[in-house]
Chain A
Amino acid sequence: MSLYESEDPDMTTDLDTPPPAPPAGGDPAPPLGPWRRALRGLASSPAAVLSGLGILLIVLAMALAPAYAKYVAKTDPFRSGLSAKIMIDGTRVPVMQRSTEGLGLGVTPIGPTWGPQYFLGADNQGRDVAARFLYGGQNSLFIAGAATLLCLACAALVGIVAGYAGGAIDAVLSNLIDMIWAFPVYLLAISLSIVMLGKSFDFGPIHLSSSSLILPIVIIGLVYVPYVARPVRGRVIAITNSEFVLAARALGIRPSRILWRHILPNVATTLIVFAPMLMALNIVTESSLSFLSVGVQAPNASWGTILQDGQALLYSRPVVSMAPGIAIMVTVMLLNLFGDVLRDILDPKSVRGR
């Protein structure tokens, strides 16, 4: 591993990130812990730095949604504004315009003005699409992120228990994983949504309203659990049977300590490698579910719900559909790019391949 030796002082300067987790495992401590080495690898890869910055930029832009709605667009993007009028070039223009096509019946929302108000036009309820786009981005990213964490946590739990316990517990859990995986992901998500959405839940003191974002998070988080739990289980089994764990066992080290010191750190890398890809998958899943109106519920917005709003306006006001679609594409590409670099760094197999 040439990376261990290359301790050049120039490279440490751009590493003023918070101190990484302590070195993993009971292996003889290398000069540089695996976490620190991974961070350094990320910092020295232009693709990782650029995509990381891009993701950060998107998150920051979406965080500005309330400011944009209040100071630039000056509208409430969650209230319909069918009778609103705005000033363009000194004339007052209604937001919902009389249709000029066909029989002249019905109204078409205003197209993109490329100005501060209705930058991307309005949707069928006269709401500012640009402001909704930013708020929707917040929700899309938040749901995808939270669902990723939930999925990784559940997958780690199931995978570790199945892999470490073995025997009957493993057999039951593995078969259950197989069964859930046999559902097409979208059908499973849609089924769960239908059963869970549209009504409120009370779990003791916790009250979930029907439009709560928790429900899509739980649904999206759960459907990909088998996808991660299977490799985690495989990894746990491989580590449990490896020589260093055997040696630790022979030394009489407690199973809980083996789990904590040897298995968890090794599983952690698998989980981290999955995180960006899973987040990317979740963004697409959220948009698909919301597009089918079984994801984020009104009055909340997400990129998926805006795509659904845009479906009816596809031929007259295509920008409503294009903006969130492009945003999804760019975000997912950046996440995948970042994930690729991360995998190359953390996955020992692909390092050997080079």
Chain B
Amino acid sequence: MLAAMLSRLARMVVVMLGISILTFLIFFATPGADPAARIAGRNAAPETVAAVRHDFGLDQPIWVQYGAMMRKMFITGDLTSFVNRGEKIVPTLRAAAPVTLSLVAGAAVLWMALGALTGILAAATRGRWPDKMLMGLSMMAVAMPVFWVGEMVNLITQSRLHNTWAFSWVPPLGYVPFTESPLRWALALVFPWLTLAFLYIGLYGRMLRTGIIETYQEDYIRTARAKGLTARRVLLKHATRSAIIPVVIMFGMDFGVLVGGAAVLTEVVFGLNGVGRLTYQALKVLDLPMIMASVLYASFFVVLANAIVDLLCILIDPRMRRK
């Protein structure tokens, strides 16, 4: 088991190294995408471009640039922005992380609870109206772009029905730090949580329902029924328990992706200054070090989440230990 775990960890390191090189190449070595020209701005004189190239060390060989950037990012931590001169990148990212984490963690609690409820309820009433209604709803949830849901939510809660009793409590868009006021933190995040969770409730509900229905074909379910266990006990104790494993694996990956910045659309629509929005804004002004750092941060989270999920699977499932 230890060997399997160690080899998984070693693979994680290799993948991370590969990602850092790939990201670097996308931004600094794409043919025709001269970072110095980008930084110097449109219609800059050739001398300016040359000066910028020298200033930022872009005239050095590519591997030297890569090494310098990695050193600044991980060892000295003093990587600075190309656009806002003097802005330190590592602290900026660190400041944005709690916003994203609050958003994603809250939404994750919601979507796991409601997704599990949806899946179990639909499986229990398979073929009857609650099942059909829930599956119809989740099909809708999966089909709507998350930023559009967010806009519609804003339209209702911030504008059209804002002055009624139902939504007058909704604070204006933005983030309130938890340390400042836990209540206002939660109030400000209620609708972003619901919006982000909606899609995943649909996804996970459908997945769990399929899983439970498939498990019902297994022999051990028949045995459990033959023993005379109640239908509820069979459903909750036996079928759901094994059907939820793939959902948990999926959860690990989705959580990693979202914390890494995939919640960008939700953050943009609700005006939350999280990692995703930071990346998006850096992209708009082409702040290369900021983009590099946040994309790397993001993919590291994904790789880490994948590795944790795999390690958990090795712990839970003995079949995964031999390889």
With A191-B26, A315-B159 already in contact, the answer to whether A184 and B144 are too (CB < 8 A) is no
Residue of A nearest to B258 (CB): A184
- Asked if B19 CB lies within 8 Å of chain A CBs, one says yes
From B33, B261, B265, contact of A291 by CB (8 A): B265
Residue of B nearest to A280 (CB): B143
**CB-defined contacts of A244 to chain B, threshold 8 Å:** none
With A182-B299, A184-B298, A291-B265 already in contact, the answer to whether A325 and B155 are too (CB < 8 A) is no
- Asked if A238 CB lies within 8 Å of chain B CBs, one says no
With A175-B15, A187-B264 already in contact, the answer to whether A288 and B151 are too (CB < 8 A) is no
Residue of B nearest to A284 (CB): B145
Partner-binding segment picked from B64-72, B177-185, B235-243, B278-286: B278-286
Cα(A175)–Cα(B17), bound, Å? 12
Tell me whether A184 and B139 are in contact (CB under 8 A): no
Tell me whether B142 and A184 are in contact (CB under 8 A): no
Indicate the member of B148, B159, B286, B291 with the most A CB atoms within 10 Å.
B148
Residue of B nearest to A333 (CB): B143
**CB-defined contacts of A184 to chain B, threshold 8 Å:** 257, 260-262, 298-299, 302
Tell me whether B299 and A288 are in contact (CB under 8 A): no
**CB-defined contacts of B295 to chain A, threshold 8 Å:** 183, 187, 191
With A195-B26, A195-B30 already in contact, the answer to whether A292 and B264 are too (CB < 8 A) is yes
B interface footprint on A317-348 (CB within 8 Å = 1, 0 otherwise): 01001100100111011001100000000000
**CB-defined contacts of B146 to chain A, threshold 8 Å:** 288
- Asked if B318 CB lies within 8 Å of chain A CBs, one says no
Tell me whether B298 and A183 are in contact (CB under 8 A): yes
Cα(A307)–Cα(B152), bound, Å? 11
Tell me whether B283 and A182 are in contact (CB under 8 A): no
Tell me whether A187 and B147 are in contact (CB under 8 A): no
Tell me whether A199 and B279 are in contact (CB under 8 A): no
**CB-defined contacts of B299 to chain A, threshold 8 Å:** 182-184, 187
From B33, B142, B158, contact of A195 by CB (8 A): B33
A-B contacts, 17 listed (Cβ < 8 Å): A175-B14, A175-B15, A179-B19, A182-B299, A185-B257, A186-B261, A187-B264, A187-B298, A191-B283, A287-B148, A325-B145, A328-B143, A328-B145, A329-B144, A333-B139, A336-B142, A353-B214
**CB-defined contacts of A58 to chain B, threshold 8 Å:** none
- Asked if B108 CB lies within 8 Å of chain A CBs, one says no
Tell me whether A294 and B283 are in contact (CB under 8 A): yes
- In the complex, chain A residues 155-191 whose Cβ is within 8 Å of any chain B Cβ: 175-176, 178-180, 182-187, 190-191
Cα(A280)–Cα(B142), bound, Å? 10
Least CB distance from B8 to A in Å reads: 12
Interface SS of A by simple majority: helix
- In the complex, chain B residues 22-42 whose Cβ is within 8 Å of any chain A Cβ: 22-23, 26-27, 30, 32-33
Cα(A321)–Cα(B306), bound, Å? 36
Tell me whether B26 and A336 are in contact (CB under 8 A): no
| Beyond A187-B298, A353-B213, A353-B214, 12 extra complex contacts between A and B, CB < 8 Å | A175-B14, A175-B18, A184-B299, A187-B262, A194-B283, A287-B145, A292-B280, A310-B151, A314-B154, A329-B143, A329-B144, A329-B148
**CB-defined contacts of B291 to chain A, threshold 8 Å:** 191, 194
With A175-B18, A182-B299 already in contact, the answer to whether A314 and B155 are too (CB < 8 A) is yes
- Asked if B140 CB lies within 8 Å of chain A CBs, one says yes
- Asked if A192 CB lies within 8 Å of chain B CBs, one says yes
Tell me whether A187 and B15 are in contact (CB under 8 A): no
**CB-defined contacts of A322 to chain B, threshold 8 Å:** 152
Which A residues are closer than 8 A to B by beta carbons?
A: 175-176, 178-180, 182-187, 190-192, 194-196, 199, 201, 280, 284, 287-288, 291-292, 294, 307, 310-311, 314-315, 318, 321-322, 325, 328-330, 332-333, 336-337, 353
**CB-defined contacts of A318 to chain B, threshold 8 Å:** 155
**CB-defined contacts of A337 to chain B, threshold 8 Å:** 139
From B143, B145, B260, B268, contact of A336 by CB (8 A): B143
- Asked if B43 CB lies within 8 Å of chain A CBs, one says no
Cα(A325)–Cα(B217), bound, Å? 39
Least CB distance from B298 to A in Å reads: 5
Cα(A314)–Cα(B271), bound, Å? 15
- Asked if B303 CB lies within 8 Å of chain A CBs, one says yes
The 5 closest A-B pairs by CB, nearest first: A332-B143, A184-B262, A325-B148, A333-B143, A315-B159
Tell me whether A191 and B27 are in contact (CB under 8 A): yes
Cα(A328)–Cα(B143), bound, Å? 7
**CB-defined contacts of A336 to chain B, threshold 8 Å:** 139, 142-143
With A187-B264, A332-B143 already in contact, the answer to whether A179 and B22 are too (CB < 8 A) is yes
**CB-defined contacts of A194 to chain B, threshold 8 Å:** 283, 286, 291
A interface footprint on B67-110 (CB within 8 Å = 1, 0 otherwise): 00000000000000000000000000000000000000000000
**CB-defined contacts of A284 to chain B, threshold 8 Å:** 143, 145
